[in-house]
Amino acid sequence: MKQKTLKGSFSLFGKGLHTGLNLTVTFNPAPENTGYKIQRIDLEGQPIIDAIAENVIDTQRGTVLGKGDARVSTVEHGLSALYALGIDNCLIQVNGPEFPILDGSAILYVNKIQEVGIEEQNAPKDYYIIRKKIEIKDEQTGSCITILPDDAFTITAMCSFESKFINSQFATLDDPKKYADEIASARTFVFVRDIEPLLQANLIKGGDLDNAIVIYERQTTQERLDMLADMLHVEHRDATDLGYIQHKPLQWENECTRHKLLDIIGDMALIGKPIKGRIIATRPGHTINNKFARMMRKEIRKHEIQAPIYDPNEEPVMDVNRIRELLPHRYPMQLVDKVIELGATTIVGVKNITANEPFFQGHFPQEPVMPGVLQIEAMAQCGGLLVLNTLEEPERWSTYFMKIDDVKFRQKVVPGDTLIFKVELLAPVRHGISSMKGYVFVGDHVVSEATFTAQIVKNK
């Protein structure tokens, strides 16, 4: 699967939730491997903030990104829409300190993205595949986020609000394709008991019943409720009339928890990679979401190079006979048994190492070890198959080493190991010259790696 960006730019206008300012945010296409970047075009030098978890500076009432003197808040709804719709690269420009709150959901972002369209790029999408359970807990709040291995990206959010109107709820997104219909239009919400502290903190200047669900579930005095109504510029209400205060009815009984799920996706966008895994979030909020995103980024850095998933039951893309048609190598120098993945810029091959390999007879026979140079040769053969796959008549060409760099051997390869080769083109093939980076895995571990340059030569 390839990376994606927008086909064109779009802008949205509205007031900021906390500042009340009239704001414009513009989403633009961006080159491959850009990720999400947010630019404050109203500030001197128009600084750009990378939308990554480490740049979050506040999570009290939303996600706030900052770098130097530049900061941008209320970014989670826009990022949620980008991430859920599979967009990898986007430059977002805003003319103030926050994104406009719009209707309090992500649906206007989704509508605009669908209107301008999504464009596939050439670079492969760089998924991070969850291979083990990862969890973070906050003992004080009871919040917990767990991610488990899964073939896709799914989320379940479970919330307990200690309110008779929205006590315990859950919401699930089992397919990102359902995001637009089932999650994107879920609106943000606030309890009346929380409004006064927010106003006293000089926040929610732009909050109203058009961009939030207000929940009045604990009776207060009529005088106090009238004062809050005046501060928010809404009609007075009988202080004994508990319930939802809103212009539009609830779209779903669990709309508040669906919005929590929307926020989780926006905060997970700050991981910087699409994820394949199942997230289970209990009592989520921006603080625990950001802690989890930071932990995931550390996990990714520890395993920057992930081993491809190998299922021996799946049919190979190339079997040993097809490989023999393309490569001139024969026993004992054919070092790739099959190819299990083949794209425009990436190939994954497999070799099973047995005790009968001829090189074990003379290479540490008392403690058999596969020679490192043969691991490099096997990578190069995979790379040759990758490059030949770009040609119209691959059988009429061969590839030859020109240069090998950055070779590292990390652990021994012994009988019984299954080698997984992953080779990627570093640049398009030009004038018959290709540059590639290769890795050899045993299980989840890199055992060797190298960068090499090869030349494509027509067979005589």
Which residues are the active-site residues?
286, 363
3-state secondary structure the chain: CEEEEECCCEEEEEEECCCCCEEEEEEEECCCCCCEEEEECCCCCCCEEECCHHHEEECCCCCEEEECCEEEECCHHHHHHHHHCCCCEEEEEECCCECECCCCCCHHHHHHHHHHCEEEEEEECCCEECCCCEEEEECCCCEEEEEECCCCEEEEEEEECCCCCCCEEEEEECCHHHHHHHCCCCCCEEEHHHHHHHHHCCCCCCCCCCCCEEEECCCCCHHHHHHHHHHHCCCCCCCCCCEEECCCCCCCCCHHHHHHHHHHHHHHHHHCCCEEEEEEEECCCHHHHHHHHHHHHHHHHHCCCCCCCCCCCCCCCECHHHHHHHCCCCCCCCCCCEEEEECCCEEEEEEECCCCCHHHHCCCCCCCCCCHHHHHHHHHHHHHHHHHCCCCCHHHEEEEEEEEEEEEECCCCCCCCEEEEEEEECCCCECCEEEEEEEEEECCEEEEEEEEEEEEEECC
**Is there a binding annotation on residue 263?**
yes
**Is there a binding annotation on residue 18?**
no
- Binding site residues for Zn(2+), as ranges? 77, 259, 263
Annotated binding site: 77, 259, 263
